Structure 1
Amino acid sequence: MRFMMIVKATDDSESGKMPTEAQLAEMGKYNEELVNAGVLLDGNGLLGSSTGVRVQFTGKGQTTVVDGPFTETKELVAGYWIIDVKSKDEAIEWAKRVPFVDGEIEVRKVAEAEDFGDSFTPELQEAEEELRQRVERQQNK
């Protein structure tokens, strides 16, 4: 099962304050533990929302682009890990080990084919798998 561990933004992350060398080293050790355990699929930090935009949809083909920063810091994402583990409990245990003094990690299951029920027909699953294979080939170039 894949889970995303979502790092919630803080006032520091939103202000652009970067981690110290010691904090980066500690995070590097944690990431190495994930790699050594064979569970890490991806993970990255994100810059503050002042560097981003939101694309809002208000009808088919109707979009509005809103520049950051965004005001509700507690609702923003500052980074993430995607891990592949056996259970939600195991994902929670990994989240508990994140070397933060303050902050919050949200743990959410990544949707798998079976989570979509009958709507995700064999034809749609086959098309999705082809897209995933194309992405993998592009990444391996």
Structure 2
Amino acid sequence: MRFLLMHRIDERAPEAWNPSQEFIEKMGAMIQDWSERGILITAEGVHPSEKGSLVRKDRGAATKVTDGPFTEAKEVIGGFALINAEDRAQAVRYAQEYADLFAEIEVEVRQGGAGGARPRNRSRPGPPAGQVRSGCHPSR
């Protein structure tokens, strides 16, 4: 089954967008390990909210666009990982392993696909076995 791990961070924290060399090395080792074991499909960090936008449509209303930064938000999305896991319990264990790399973080675990089944028609084929589409960094 596929699971999406989305992590939220306090973007006001100094390390949010400027990770230490030690953190980068630990994250790189985990990416390599998870890739070799067939856990990681793809992962990536995102830019600070000042470079983002929020598109919202309430029922019966027009679509609204709000440009960042999202100063009212305590935490913002810092990145994501799409992983393979046997079940939610295993995905949660992987999320805990991922969270252990950070000083403070929240990781949401969500199962993807219809009942976890892979979609039949994919517009973009996935990477070859053992390869990751992109790197996972908490900051960029």
Q: 2:50 — aligned with what?
A: 50
Once the two structures are superposed, residues 10-39 of structure 1 have per-residue CA deviations (whole angstroms, 9 ceiling, x without a partner) of 134699632122211111111111101101
* Backbone CA RMSD of aligned residues: 2.8
Verify: 1:37 aligned to 2:37, yes or no: yes
- Are 1:7 and 1:106, in contact at CA under 8 Å, matched by a contact in 2? yes
2:120 pairs with one of 129, 132, 140: 129
Verify: 1:73 aligned to 2:74, yes or no: yes
Asked which structure has the greater RCO (Cα within 8 Å, sep 6+), the reply is 2
Q: 2:114 — aligned with what?
A: 113
Verify: 1:62 aligned to 2:71, yes or no: no
CA distance in 2, matches of 1:18, 1:5: 21
In the alignment of these two chains, the number of paired residues is 123
Structure 2 CA distance for partners of 1:103 and 1:97, relative to 1, 3 Å: same
Q: TM-score, normalised by structure 2?
A: 0.74
- Are 1:49 and 1:69, in contact at CA under 8 Å, matched by a contact in 2? yes
The residue type equivalent to 1:72 in the other structure is: A
3-state SS of paired residue (2:5): strand
CA distance in 1, matches of 2:45, 2:11: 15
Q: For structure 2, list consecutive stretches of 5 or more residues without a partner in the other structure.
A: 129-140
CA distance in 2, matches of 1:13, 1:105: 17
Structure 2 CA distance for partners of 1:113 and 1:14, relative to 1, 3 Å: farther
Q: 1:11 — aligned with what?
A: 11
Structure 2 CA distance for partners of 1:13 and 1:41, relative to 1, 3 Å: farther
Deviation at 1:62, TM superposition (A): 2.9
**Percent identity between the two aligned chains:** 24
- Say which one has the larger Rg: 1
Q: For structure 1, list consecutive stretches of 5 or more residues without a partner in the other structure.
A: 116-127
Q: 1:102 — aligned with what?
A: 104
- Are 1:13 and 1:48, in contact at CA under 8 Å, matched by a contact in 2? no
3-state SS of paired residue (2:124): helix
The residue type equivalent to 1:69 in the other structure is: P
Verify: 1:83 aligned to 2:74, yes or no: no
Between structures 1 and 2, the one with greater helix share: 1
Structure 2 CA distance for partners of 1:10 and 1:60, relative to 1, 3 Å: same
